[in-house]
Structure 1
Amino acid sequence: MTIAFTICSINYLAQARTLGESLRVTNPDYTYIIGLVDKLEGANLPANLVPDFPMLEVDKINIPDFAAMCDRYDITELNTAVKPFYIDYLYENYPDASSVIYFDPDIIVFQPLEQLNKALTQYSLVLTPHTCSPTPDWERPNEQHHLNTGIFNLGFIGLRNDDTARSFVNWWKDRLVYECRIDLCAGLFVDQHWVNFAPVYYDNVLIDQHLGYNVAYWNLHERRIAQNATGDWIISPMNQSQQTGQFLLQFFHFSGYNPYKPDEISKYQTRYTFADRPDTRPLFDLYRNQLMHHQNDKYRQYPCVYIKPPAVLRYKRVRKALKIPFERIITLLESR
């Protein structure tokens, strides 16, 4: 049994439904679960907005002092901080699951993930790097940005249900309770920088450089997209010294794409426009149509119940920063 899951708040359920339907078509043997960082009871979703996939609300997975995490984090930070807690919950409550795969909600899976399934019978963790070859210029994102945000993209991670993966998840949980912030000056970018240590701290980690995995704006400089006569999406390497041949697109990550700004590939990049990369346009049009079909207009109006207004969150962080030196002085004095 393989569990595939995502994490989102209600405002991202159109994306989560799109991901779920792609898995239902391509990998029907997977059990797909939406981890919901929100409350259904207060939202009172009409029947046509309730996904036909199981939803596991975050308050049901028994995260210690979850309210304090809500105080510390914004919506992006909170949705990433709970990731290893969900994995741990799935391990404990689905003992028949041989592996657990996480996908960000803004992903579409296009193929049966046979190579990944095989890898998870051998490896404890499967990670994908942001890029497999050097960036060609100083447009965003370049290698310096990846140094700031992490070598691996944690919009995807595959984990076997074994002792090594469980040990990694427990270590990751400890780090994300307090240090899942977007704080580049402190060397933090949500959950991603921590996983730079995974291949060092843990054995049996696969860094999979398959060019059809986790295709996104950050690696378009090395991958060209086409659709063949049978409708499959094909990835060709831009740099023949990198890898040769063609690869079936396994899953595409539409990170930073705004369906209400359909002429922008991603708000996080400056390297390409659709005029520069017309090969990508049909894929993004497909995604936009899927989001509209799944009523993204309606979901995006629901605020997450756990998130403090930005001004309140800034106040709490400043107050915490000002308290730290005094707390250290008190600790020092008490130790004498």
Structure 2
Amino acid sequence: MTLAFTLCSINYLAQARTLGDSLRQTNPDWQFVIGLVDRLAEANLPEELVPAYPMIEVDRIEIEDFAGMCDRYDITELNTAVKPYYMDYLFRHHPDATEVIYFDPDIIVYQPLTRLSASLAEANLVLTPHTCSPINDWLAPNELNHLNTGIFNLGFIGLRRSEETLRFVDWWKKRLAYECRIDLCNGLFVDQHWVNFAPVYFDRVQVERHPGYNVAYWNLHERTISRDGDRWLVNESELQFFHFSGYSPYKPEEISKYQNRFTFNDRPDIVALFQDYGNRLMTNRNDVYRTYPCHYIKPPKTLYYQRVRQALKNPLNQLIAALEK
């Protein structure tokens, strides 16, 4: 059995539902669950906002010192840090799951993922790099940005049940318990930099270069979208899944808030794809979900001052602070 999951707080449930709808249509034999990094009891969602997919609340998966993680991390860091903990939980509680696949909630799957299933018959892990060919300008994101944020995009990862995979998950859990921060000066960008080590530390790690995998703003320079009837194509190959990272239906003129290389005028090939995604989000009540605050996250100012206090515990920082008085 293949088990696919995503992670989000309530404010991203429209994205998670849209992902689930696409998987139900394209891969109906897969089981899909939502890892909810939030508290349903606190949100008191009306019945029409409760997704039709199973949800596993984060307090059920028994993360050691989860309260400490909530203190350390903002909402993006927290939703990312719990990823390997959910993988561990799903492998332990679903012994019939031979593969566990993670997708970020802002992904849509467009095809039966038979190629991925075939890969996971042999590979322990399947990863996708941000780019598969050089970028020849200095617009964002460029190769320097990817050096800062990680070679692989961890909005997707496929895992096959094996001792080696479980060893990877355990290693990743330990790294993300404390070091899943957005802290580029210290070489950290949530979970992604750690996985640069995966092909070195672990056996049978497949780097998937198919142009239809994990298509997103960061690799549009090397990929062109087209349509053949009902099929979406990328460089004449079938589009497997598209990652709408940084897109907002409330700013429909922007491909992503994280890039400045392309506009929709430059890339008419992707306009219909994004329009369809925006419509799906609104159908799935994005306008309502986005108003719900995450139960576990402190206000940004509180988190900022907490991090300052943590930094000042370091003796060198204490000396610097004293000299600056």
Where on the TM-score scale, by shorter chain, does this alignment land: which range?
Answer: over 0.9
Pairing 1:48-63 to 2, within 5 Å after superposition: 48-63=48-63
1:287-319, CA deviations, whole angstroms, 9 ceiling, x for partnerless residues?
000000001000000000000000110011000
| Equivalent residues of 2:7, 2:36 under 8 A apart | yes
In structure 1, the partner of 2:172 is 172
2:317 and 2:189 mapped to 1: Cα distance? 25
Q: Secondary structure at the match of 2:29?
A: coil
In structure 2, the partner of 1:255 is 245
Q: Give 1:136 shift.
A: 2.2
Q: Secondary structure at the match of 2:256?
A: coil
Q: What amino acid does structure 2 have at the position aligned with 1:233?
A: W
In structure 2, the partner of 1:190 is 190
1:299 and 1:263 mapped to 2: Cα distance? 22
Q: Secondary structure at the match of 1:279?
A: helix
In structure 2, the partner of 1:85 is 85
2:28 and 2:60 mapped to 1: Cα distance? 26
| Equivalent residues of 1:7, 1:34 under 8 A apart | yes
In structure 2, the partner of 1:133 is 133
| Equivalent residues of 2:168, 2:202 under 8 A apart | yes
Q: Give 1:327 shift.
A: 11
1:327 and 1:133 mapped to 2: Cα distance? 41
1:20-75, CA deviations, whole angstroms, 9 ceiling, x for partnerless residues?
00000000011000000000011110111000000000000000000000000000
Q: Secondary structure at the match of 2:313?
A: helix
Q: What amino acid does structure 2 have at the position aligned with 1:304?
A: C
Instruction: Indicate the RMSD between aligned Cα atoms, in angstroms.
Output: 1.2
Q: Give 1:324 shift.
A: 2.0
2:203 and 2:285 mapped to 1: Cα distance? 43
2:29 and 2:317 mapped to 1: Cα distance? 52
Q: Does 1:116 align with 2:116?
A: yes
Q: What amino acid does structure 2 have at the position aligned with 1:227?
A: R
| Equivalent residues of 1:129, 1:151 under 8 A apart | yes
Q: Give 1:328 shift.
A: 11
Aligned-pair identity (%)? 68
Q: What amino acid does structure 2 have at the position aligned with 1:277?
A: R
Q: What amino acid does structure 1 have at the position aligned with 2:259?
A: Q
In structure 2, the partner of 1:267 is 257
1:208 and 1:28 mapped to 2: Cα distance? 23
In structure 2, the partner of 1:334 is none
1:310 and 1:51 mapped to 2: Cα distance? 28
Q: Secondary structure at the match of 1:171?
A: helix
Q: Does 1:234 align with 2:224?
A: no
Q: What amino acid does structure 2 have at the position aligned with 1:13?
A: L
2:260 and 2:30 mapped to 1: Cα distance? 36
| Equivalent residues of 2:311, 2:317 under 8 A apart | no
Q: What amino acid does structure 2 have at the position aligned with 1:320?
A: Q
2:203 and 2:152 mapped to 1: Cα distance? 17
Q: Secondary structure at the match of 2:242?
A: strand
1:60 and 1:251 mapped to 2: Cα distance? 30
1:135-165, CA deviations, whole angstroms, 9 ceiling, x for partnerless residues?
1210000000000000000000000010111
1:324 and 1:203 mapped to 2: Cα distance? 37
Q: What amino acid does structure 2 have at the position aligned with 1:234?
A: L
Q: Secondary structure at the match of 1:159?
A: strand
In structure 2, the partner of 1:242 is none
Pairing 1:134-173 to 2, within 5 Å after superposition: 134-173=134-173
Q: Does 1:11 align with 2:11?
A: yes
Q: Give 1:251 shift.
A: 0.1
2:32 and 2:109 mapped to 1: Cα distance? 12
| Equivalent residues of 1:12, 1:299 under 8 A apart | yes
Q: Does 1:207 align with 2:197?
A: no
In structure 1, the partner of 2:277 is 287
2:248 and 2:108 mapped to 1: Cα distance? 15
Q: Secondary structure at the match of 2:7?
A: strand
In structure 1, the partner of 2:307 is 317
Q: Secondary structure at the match of 2:295?
A: coil
1:255 and 1:52 mapped to 2: Cα distance? 24
Q: Secondary structure at the match of 1:280?
A: helix
Q: Give 1:325 shift.
A: 1.9
Q: When the two structures are superposed, what TM-score results if normalisation uses the length of structure 1?
A: 0.94
Unaligned runs of 5+ in 1: 237-245, 330-336
1:106 and 1:327 mapped to 2: Cα distance? 39
Q: When the two structures are superposed, what TM-score results if normalisation uses the length of structure 2?
A: 0.97
Q: Does 1:277 align with 2:276?
A: no
In structure 2, the partner of 1:332 is none
Number of aligned residue pairs: give it.
319
1:328 and 1:97 mapped to 2: Cα distance? 50
| Equivalent residues of 2:100, 2:160 under 8 A apart | yes
